[in-house]
Structure 1
Amino acid sequence: MRLSRFLPLLILLAAIAAIAADGARLTSYFFVLKPLTTFFIIAYAWPRGQALPQESRTRPWVLRGLWFSLGGDVALLWPEQGFIFGLLSFLCAHLCYLWAFTRVQRFAAWPWPFLGYGLLAGGVLSHLWPGVPTPLQGPVIVYVLCLTAMGAQAAVVGWRAQAEPEAVRGRWLALGGLLFVLSDAVLATNKFAGPVPQATLYVLSLYWAGQTCIVAWLSPKGVKTS
């Protein structure tokens, strides 16, 4: 069997090991396993997204988003010193994903997801705002806007896809965008509004599940073009 068939299992095992290493305070193992899990997701994405004509415009941007995410993962291994670089890396990742999604559906072509994500972001941000340092308030607002736009546009693409199997993969994309948003919401709550019990478990499990769902949006190798 080809290695690519084992990659979802490798992603799961690496994610479990990374979260366990952090819980056991095995820092050196965590420093290896955290970026390794995202690297496995990149490897899982690499052969995908080459079957459908429009994917020549979407696949490169999804891959760029994953590489920026890997950079953010490495930066946030140092939560204080690397926070700004991590924020910028993930901001670039969300912009890459947003650009990819708008190659398929016009931006905000369906307004309801944007309304829902806007309300969610507003509620979370209002809860966090008293704890956000003044120098970070501007960057945090920009980041939240890009994050919620990415999640909402993922929902637009997912729920407006009609033909099978694109519709099924679209649902995975919508779920992936939501999980990514929830992961960042937990991370921000833990940082700015007091400690969240088992924060690493929730942040990383939601994050890696979301990234894997986004990758699942890309067509697998061997799918026939219509």
Structure 2
Amino acid sequence: MSTVASTSPAFRRALAPMVACAALAAMLGGAFGEGADAWQWLHWIAKPLATVLVIVAALAWPPITSRYRRRIVVGLICSLLGDVLLMWPADLFVAGLVAFLIGHLYFISGFLGDSRLGTRPLAWLGCLLLAALNLAWLWPSIPPALRGAVVVYALVLAAMAAQALARAWVHAGDVLARPARRAAIGGALFMLGDSLLAWDRFHGALPLAAVWVLGSYYAAVWFIARSVARDDGMAGVMQASTA
């Protein structure tokens, strides 16, 4: 998977403010879109646009490995599909959940390229415990028909965050430290954003939910996308791993 054509330093520097502007528009549209067509249209346009720009960012920098970038980009594309499904006028919550779940599996696959599954058990224990506590609090409010899907998704999300954290732990002292740390921050923010979304949907409306949910979500996918980029001193370190 080659990088996008325009990868000049100026273009790369412009990506962060472009993502921030699109994300802010999506948050404002989501916060004020109830009953206001103009705001709702802003949300519908800006929400997927922000994720598209995040995908462009994942393609714009030289990657730590081609294999890692492929898996992260596919995961981000699944997240884009989930974005669209969750904001569709019809109730496609389960379909959106499945799209995000597949995306997390691709993220995990990417993280496993340079770290073993289940390494650093404390990271796994912490993430799974947080997922279990969140499910326990929300359980009475989750419709019975959705409980199975929500449990499976919560476990996969926790596994993604745990593997990202464990990978950052493993690479804390080597050339992958900064990219792995970005992925770990992204995984943690994904758990936060989806927890807020679940509380807003199942437990009770959160004030300015669109701001908190989308803000943490876009920060999460941005950090995961930026984890693709190698640091200046990494050129050639892992390029043999392209399978």
TM-score normalized with structure 2 length: 0.87
Counterpart contact for 1:49–1:59, Cα < 8 Å: no
Task: State the SS of the aligned residue for 1:179.
Answer: helix
Distance (whole Å) between structure 2 residues aligned to residue 4 and residue 168 of structure 1? 18
What RMSD over aligned residues (CA atoms) do the two structures have, in Å?
1.6
Partner of 1:97: 107
Shift of 1:140: 0.9
- Residues 49 and 125 of structure 1: CA distance in aligned 2, closer, same or farther (over 3 Å): farther
Query: Which one of the candidate residues 15, 33, 36 is aligned to 2:46?
Result: 33
Shift of 1:163: 4.2
In terms of mean alpha carbon deviation, does 190-199 or 147-156 score higher? Answer: 190-199
Distance (whole Å) between structure 2 residues aligned to residue 164 and residue 79 of structure 1? 47
Query: Which one of the candidate residues 17, 29, 33 is aligned to 2:25?
Result: 17
Task: State the SS of the aligned residue for 2:13.
Answer: helix
Counterpart contact for 2:58–2:229, Cα < 8 Å: no
Partner of 2:235: 224
Partner of 2:166: 156
Partner of 1:177: 187
Alpha-carbon displacement from aligned partner over 1:42-69 (angstroms, at most 9, x marks no partner): 011113353x4xx232111100000000
Whichever residue aligns with residue 6 of structure 1, its letter is A
Counterpart contact for 2:186–2:224, Cα < 8 Å: yes
- Residues 90 and 79 of structure 1: CA distance in aligned 2, closer, same or farther (over 3 Å): farther
Shift of 1:202: 0.8
Structure 1 moving runs of 4+ over 4 Å: 220-223
Unaligned runs of 5+ in 2: 1-8, 34-38, 238-243
Partner of 2:241: none
Task: State the SS of the aligned residue for 1:225.
Answer: coil
Distance (whole Å) between structure 2 residues aligned to residue 56 and residue 3 of structure 1? 21
In terms of mean alpha carbon deviation, does 19-28 or 87-96 score higher? Answer: 19-28
Task: State the SS of the aligned residue for 2:60.
Answer: coil
Partner of 1:45: 58
Task: State the SS of the aligned residue for 2:205.
Answer: coil
Counterpart contact for 1:154–1:177, Cα < 8 Å: yes
Unaligned runs of 5+ in 1: none
Equivalenced residue count is: 223
Query: Which one of the candidate residues 109, 115, 136 is aligned to 1:126?
Result: 136
Q: Is 1:72 aligned with 2:82?
A: yes
Alpha-carbon displacement from aligned partner over 1:7-39 (angstroms, at most 9, x marks no partner): 011001111111112222210111000000001
Alpha-carbon displacement from aligned partner over 1:125-144 (angstroms, at most 9, x marks no partner): 00110111111111111101
Partner of 2:212: 202
Distance (whole Å) between structure 1 residues aligned to residue 187 and residue 23 of structure 2? 19
Shift of 1:3: 2.0
Distance (whole Å) between structure 2 residues aligned to residue 28 and residue 111 of structure 1? 45
Distance (whole Å) between structure 2 residues aligned to residue 195 and residue 49 of structure 1? 42
Report percent identity of matched pairs: 35
Whichever residue aligns with residue 166 of structure 2, its letter is V
Shift of 1:79: 6.9
Distance (whole Å) between structure 1 residues aligned to residue 59 and residue 100 of structure 2? 20
- Residues 111 and 77 of structure 1: CA distance in aligned 2, closer, same or farther (over 3 Å): same
